[in-house]
Amino acid sequence: MAKREFKWPKGFLWGSATASHQVEGGNVNNWSVWELQTAKQRAKSAKRLFGTLPIWPEISDLATNPDNYVSGKAVDHYRRYKEDFDVIEKLGLNSFRFSIEWSRIEPDEGAWDVAAIEHYRAYIKDLRRRGIEPVLTLYHWTVPLWFSEKGGFEKAKNIAYFERFAQKIIREFHGDLHYIVTINEPDTVCSMGYIMLEHPPGTFSLPKAAAVYYNLLRAHKRVYTFAKAFDKKLIVGFSKSYSYAVAGDDRLLSRLMVKLDNAFRDDMIIRFVGKKTDFLGVQFYFTDQHHGWELVHGNKQISDMGWDRQPQNLEHVLKRLAWCKKPLIVTETGLADQHDNWRKEWIEQTIASVHNALEAGVDVRGYLYWSLLDNFEWAYGRWPAFGLIGVDYEHGLKRTIRPSALYYAAVVRKSACITKITQR
Ligand code: BGC
């Protein structure tokens, strides 16, 4: 263990992130329909899927209850956002990433909901008033039902609907905005929706997965072009998940697989987007070890969800992405940790990674922890706890700031000058 001195660039975004469907409650969209269709089945498979996790005895009641898989009220952030923003302010974070729920803004095709627009206007203005930079996501996996019924992003001609929604949002809110994330993790939308079948539409199809990926990237490019022409001060990018791909042994095949992984999962996408992005949104959760043809996740140290915990590897991801010569913003990183056992270490090591990358000359502009609040974790439902703020579902969704959040706040406070962090 050695102490290192860290200096942070001025204007660095220190924040946290959420997504509308995971926190707001009361949404009616492609996901809310899917939840009702699949909840019973998810509850039935819970023991098989999660039964070997150390946390199983604590979560088994919830995980085997179909209600767990229905977002319902989520954490009622749509109504309680001011209370949640109070915490952001208290923690001293200077930015906050959230998504706008398209199904609220345009519940019926072509009909704008004025009350929803005014809600988000007040929401964004409230962030601004508190000196918190809004980082707005346009698509975080949920779409209005009329859009999914038309085939969603499977059809190229439907991109125009998303573009119209994006234009509306940009016209309405651009005065209070700098940062826009167009698309959240197009890679996950395709793998989970069309290959693993854990997300809607849950139809196995490689051609559809490829079409959706292609259309989401084209949607990003079209929104980028519009946004920059409309207001060149807007800073527009897209977020993708980036794992640290590493050879698990010395074999040539293992090393070759790492190269292919990086080339096809990341570099090809970044090249396709080309100049039409102002930054890359980096979302880091995993380390993928290639053992020949096999892909393994480390399982010595795991989160509540069984995902391996190697936060220090964010550094490799950031350094590798330097080739694209684009600013990077860590738009998500975090872990499920109900008892806050490892979150502090995750925050410490991922922040150390960011700074090591900065010191090596990589242009990293921000770090947004996932998530501000415990929330509805998609196909897993309510039990995974990702939040800096814990939410008690048994007691009126009571919010409690976790100790790791206070640690994060202390790092941010000191970052104005010098922060000392213990480096592994
Ligand atoms: C998604 C979040 C999700 C997180 C943890 C990211 O891929 O953008 O919505 O909650 O991973 O699974």
Please tell me the distance between residue 251's alpha carbon and the centre of ligand 1 in angstroms. 33
Token representation of residue 286: 């995993």
> Phi first, then psi: what are they for 102, rounded to 5°?
-55, -40
- Closest by CA position to 364, among listed 345, 351, 383: 351
Please tell me the distance between residue 32's alpha carbon and the centre of ligand 1 in angstroms. 17
Q: Residues with Cβ within 6 A of ligand 1?
A: 19, 22, 184-185, 188, 241, 283, 332, 370, 377
Tens-digit pLDDT profile for residues 390-414: 999 999 999 999 999 999 999 999 8
> Which protein residue's CA is at the shortest distance from atom 10 of ligand 1?
377
User: Measured from the CA of 19, which atom of ligand 1 is nearest?
Assistant: 9
Looking at residues 126-145, what average pLDDT do you find?
Answer: 98
> Which protein residue's CA is at the shortest distance from atom 9 of ligand 1?
19
Looking at residues 347-352, what average pLDDT do you find?
Answer: 96
pLDDT at 10: 86
pTM, two decimals, is 0.96
Please tell me the distance between residue 185's alpha carbon and the centre of ligand 1 in angstroms. 9
Looking at residues 250-264, what average pLDDT do you find?
Answer: 98
Of the two residues 221 and 424, the one the predictor is more confident about is 221
Residue with tokens 């809310």: 32
User: Measured from the CA of 377, which atom of ligand 1 is nearest?
Assistant: 10
pLDDT at 370: 98
User: Measured from the CA of 188, which atom of ligand 1 is nearest?
Assistant: 7
pLDDT at 8: 87
Please tell me the distance between residue 254's alpha carbon and the centre of ligand 1 in angstroms. 28
Number of H helices, E strands in the chain: 15, 15
Please tell me the distance between residue 3's alpha carbon and the centre of ligand 1 in angstroms. 32
Looking at residues 21-38, what average pLDDT do you find?
Answer: 98
- Closest by CA position to 332, among listed 238, 409, 213, 422: 238
Please tell me the distance between residue 229's alpha carbon and the centre of ligand 1 in angstroms. 31
Looking at residues 274-281, what average pLDDT do you find?
Answer: 98
User: Per-residue confidence at 2, pLDDT binned at 50, 70, 90?
Assistant: low
Please tell me the distance between residue 333's alpha carbon and the centre of ligand 1 in angstroms. 9
User: Measured from the CA of 370, which atom of ligand 1 is nearest?
Assistant: 4
Looking at residues 278-291, what average pLDDT do you find?
Answer: 97
Tens-digit pLDDT profile for residues 333-344: 999 999 999 999
Please tell me the distance between residue 230's alpha carbon and the centre of ligand 1 in angstroms. 30
pLDDT over 90, % of the chain: 94
d(CA 346, CA 404): 9
- Closest by CA position to 134, among listed 87, 167, 181, 92: 181
Q: What is the 3-state secondary structure (H, E, C) of 215-263?
A: HHHHHHHHHHHHHHHHCCCCEEEEEEECCEEEECCCCHHHHHHHHHHHH
CA gyration radius for the chain?
20
Q: Give the residue, out of 137, 199, 370, with the most ligand 1 atoms within 8 A of its beta carbon, to mutate for a pocket test.
A: 370
**CB-based contact 136:172 (threshold 8 Å):** no
pLDDT at 5: 62
User: Per-residue confidence at 421, pLDDT binned at 50, 70, 90?
Assistant: very low
Relative to beta strand 235-241, strand 279-284 is parallel
Q: Give the residue, out of 140, 243, 304, 332, with the most ligand 1 atoms within 8 A of its beta carbon, to mutate for a pocket test.
A: 332
